[in-house]
Amino acid sequence: MSSFKLPKHVYHLVEKTNWHSIERHGLLPTELLYALSGYAEDERKVLIANHRPGHTVLRSGIEIRDQAPMPPAALEKCLIRMTPAEWYANLNSRVFFWLDIERLHRQRSACAPRPQMILTFDAARLVEAYLPYVALSPINTGFARRKPAVRGEATFVPYSEWSRSGWESEMKMLGKTARKTSHSPVELTVRCAIPDALKFVADIQSL
């Protein structure tokens, strides 16, 4: 049993220009933002499996952030039984939340000077509503520089599994020494659209 409990709140950083889309559609994984923006299926398959080196404005005007901290060459050194293309596609299928507000502020600094919004979510209610799609990660999955942590599909531990056995499944599948049960999750992810996301928001801060 994991000794770590989810905090009361989790956090999501939003490009302010995307706010109208969020009000209408909720929070969507990047792969669904491409679909919403009118990209054909064959285009989407290519886009979600490739590195995004720069901040991108989609045809709809929706903005998606760069993946500069995880170029393919860096990922090749730390991925277990996955290719960089598979890793990008995996990340692009999820909505991400920070468990630590300080990590969010570091992301915010990296996004400057573009205007941002901080959405604070009720963690328990969000997890309860989307439990089958919720997973936790022990690392910053979007960063692969400076001795990157090993990673693979097992990095995203389903919430129910984590609640039972902490990080046991992650490290067993990656062939590494088990993490301490006290190791705190870094990210909470939801692998589907969250159309009613605003229902779980406890606070909104415009920056």
- 137-150: per-residue pLDDT in tens? 999 999 999 889 99
Is the per-residue pLDDT at 2 higher than 70? no
Residues in the chain, overall count: 207
Task: Show me where the domains of the chain are located.
Answer: 9-206
pTM given for the model? 0.95
Per-residue pLDDT tens over the stretch 23-66: 999 999 999 999 999 999 999 999 999 999 999 999 999 999 99
> Is residue 126 pLDDT above 50, yes or no?
yes
* Dihedral pair phi/psi, residue 111, rounded to 5°: -90, -5
Mean pLDDT of 2-8: 74
Q: What is the pLDDT of residue 153?
A: 96
**For the segment 84-102, what is each residue's pLDDT rounded down to a tens digit?**
999 999 999 999 999 999 9
